[in-house]
Amino acid sequence: MTLDDYILSHITPEDDYLYRLYRATNLHLLRPRMASGHLQGQLLRMLTQMIRPRTVLEIGTYSGYSALCMASGMTEEGCLYTFEINDEQEDFTRPWLENAPYAPRIEMIVGDVFELLPAMNLHFDMVFIDANKRQYADYYELVMRFLNPGGYILADNTLWDGHVVEPEYENDAQTQGIRRFNRLVAADPRVENVILPLRDGLTVIRHKGI
């Protein structure tokens, strides 16, 4: 038994709807590894329960797995806005979101978050960044404009399979994007943060309200 198997057999089991979504993601979509999966999904759900956000922004819906995990941790009054730039993803994802028990809490927006978010006049208690690695620093600058004081940003893949410390990835555009983001956050006096070495790295950032 691997450590990963051990962990998965000692955490709260995946609910049946998410299990079926993850299977369908693997059967029908390209690049299914992009979906969060149960370990990270359960963490996202519990962080959402702890933070108790009324409004959540997700950048990067893909099959909807992480959106459903976060929505399951929200209260009924909450609303999660999830942005997906790839319109070919909509036919698969929208029915999974709309048929979920938490459907009324989720709004899927198809389009580029950089184009659409500024005009929406929304503010967020929690943000999950999980999209194009080259643009992480730009997402960060964008969402800091709309994050409430005391709010949280969670950012996925911030260790990028360990490439952030590997000299041979010095010129890789995605690695450079993640490193730029990590430097920006670490140097930003408005926030405090921690990097969890879970899966591919998950950064938790809190807006100090200054």
Ligand X SMILES: C[S@@+](CC[C@H](N)C(=O)[O-])C[C@H]1O[C@@H](n2cnc3c(N)ncnc32)[C@H](O)[C@@H]1O
Interface with ligand X by CB under 6 A: which residues? 34-36, 59-60, 62-63, 65-66, 83-86, 89, 112-114, 130-132
Please report, in angstroms and rounded to a whole number, the separation of the first and last CA atoms in the chain: 47
- Please report how close the Cβ of residue 64 comes to ligand X at its closest, in angstroms: 7
In terms of DSSP H, where are the helices of the chain? Answer: 3-8, 16-28, 37-51, 65-72, 90-98, 113-116, 136-144, 173-186
Q: Which is nearer to ligand X, 37 or 151 (CB)?
A: 37
C-alpha–C-alpha distance, residues 60 and 48, integer Å: 17
DSSP-assigned beta bridge partners for residue 84: 110
Q: Which is nearer to ligand X, 135 or 182 (CB)?
A: 135
Please, what is the Cα angle at 185 between 184 and 187, to 5 degrees?
Answer: 70
Rg (CA), the chain: 16
- Please report how close the Cβ of residue 34 comes to ligand X at its closest, in angstroms: 4
- Please report how close the Cβ of residue 68 comes to ligand X at its closest, in angstroms: 9
Q: Which is nearer to ligand X, 115 or 170 (CB)?
A: 115
- Please report how close the Cβ of residue 92 comes to ligand X at its closest, in angstroms: 11
- Please report how close the Cβ of residue 209 comes to ligand X at its closest, in angstroms: 27
Inter-axis angle of helices 65-72 and 90-98, nearest 10? 20
Classify residue 13 as left (phi > 0), alpha (psi -120 to 50) or beta.
Answer: beta
Q: Which is nearer to ligand X, 46 or 167 (CB)?
A: 46
The SS3 assignment for 110 reads strand
Q: Which is nearer to ligand X, 51 or 155 (CB)?
A: 155
Residue nearest to ligand X (CB): 60
